[in-house]
Structure 1
Amino acid sequence: MPKLDLDAIPQTNATGYPPPYDQDVAGRRYRHLAPAAGFTKLGASHVVLDPGAYSSQRHWHEGQDELLIFLQGEAVLIEDQGEVPVHAGDILAWPAGDRNGHRLHNRSDKPCVFIAVSAGDRDEDRGEYPDIDMVFTPEGYFKRDGTPYPTKRAP
């Protein structure tokens, strides 16, 4: 089964982000590709960002590598060093432990599409959101002082 049928994979806009941080990703839709492919060690998602939507809150991972392959449209990568335009054919990469917070923003008037790939044990991963009072661990989302948010990380 090397060719996945995207239409057969459920699409969702679920997020575990607590309010108000969930609003930025309201226009993000994704399909988890890894379960459909039978992957157990690699995460992969097909992501669509509607105009105005963000891919996530700006974040970094301690225990997971991230690779993003941009397929269609355009967006702006926002990271510690500033903003960079991203177009179809571009590939972005962040190794585990790189504290360079990043996210994409679709500022165009058309949807953009990319594949997000992660490697590393999600159940051991943790990281931070540099712009907001939030960190994540395998147990969920927390304020920097350790107070838990009343939500769970989306699978």
Structure 2
Amino acid sequence: MPKLDLAAIATNMGSDYPAPFHEPIGQRMRQRLGDAGGLTQFGVNRVQLPPGCWSGQRHWHAKEDEFVYVISGEVVLVTDQGEQVLCAGECAAFPANTPNAHHLVNRSAAPAVCLEVGFRSLDERVVYADIDMVYDATADAYFHKDGAAYPR
């Protein structure tokens, strides 16, 4: 596979979370490097977090392992166990079906860039620990924890 041209890969801003859950993620920039490289068995995303931005709502995956590597800058990893600072060159791993909700928050004054790596499960379920939301990949939709769907 030839070298990927980062400048030619689309950058998606924000998230597709229903309101108001999308707000802290509004300035997140994500490039789907795995998709651009034709990968089908796992995904790789380059994520840029400006100061104050979150990587996503705190969550855990039922079927997918998740790995995060900080390329530049500094982020705070927030998990059920508390908070840890991750600097460039540091990483974290989250095994599938381990209910340890996590996300990254950029509390620094400079942008941070990370890589997210994960499996591409077609029947994934993501649980958002702090809010009334789950994601069902088979429906490609967000639901309340009681099963009621969020509007699209």
Give CA deviations for 1:106-146 in whole Å, capped at 9, x if unaligned.
0011110001000141x210021110000111111000111
Q: Who is 2:108 aligned against?
A: 108
Q: Deviations over 1:30-80 (max 9, x none)?
A: 100112111011111000001000000000000111011110000100000
TM-score with structure 2 setting the length: 0.95
Aligned residues: percent identity?
43
One-letter code of the match for 2:84? V
Identify the range of structure 1 (11-20 vs 140-149) with the bigger mean alpha-carbon deviation: 11-20
1:6 equivalent in structure 2: 6
Q: Within 5 Å, which residues of 2 pair with 1:15-54?
A: 15-54=15-54
For residue 86 of structure 1, what is the aligned residue in structure 2? 86
Which residue identity lines up with residue 29 of structure 1 in the other structure?
M
Question: Does structure 2 conserve the Cα–Cα contact (< 8 Å) formed by 1:57 and 1:103?
Answer: yes
Instruction: Please say if residues 27 and 51 of structure 1, whose CA atoms lie closer than 8 Å, have aligned partners that are also in contact.
Output: no
Matches of 1:2 and 1:59, distance apart in 2? 34
How many residues get paired?
Answer: 150
TM-score relative to the length of structure 1: 0.93
Q: In the alignment, which residue of structure 2 is the partner of 1:147?
A: 148
Q: Distance in 2 between matches of 1:127 and 1:110?
A: 30
Q: CA deviation at 1:3?
A: 2.1
How far apart are the structure 2 equivalents of 1:91 and 1:144?
A: 30
Which residues of structure 2 form unaligned runs of 5+?
Answer: none
Comparing 6-15 with 65-74, which one deviates more in the overlay?
6-15
Letter in 2 for 1:91: C
SS of residue matched to 1:24: helix
What is the letter of the counterpart of residue 107 of structure 1? R
Is 1:65–2:65 an aligned residue pair? yes
Structure 1 stretches (4+) deviating beyond 4 angstroms? none
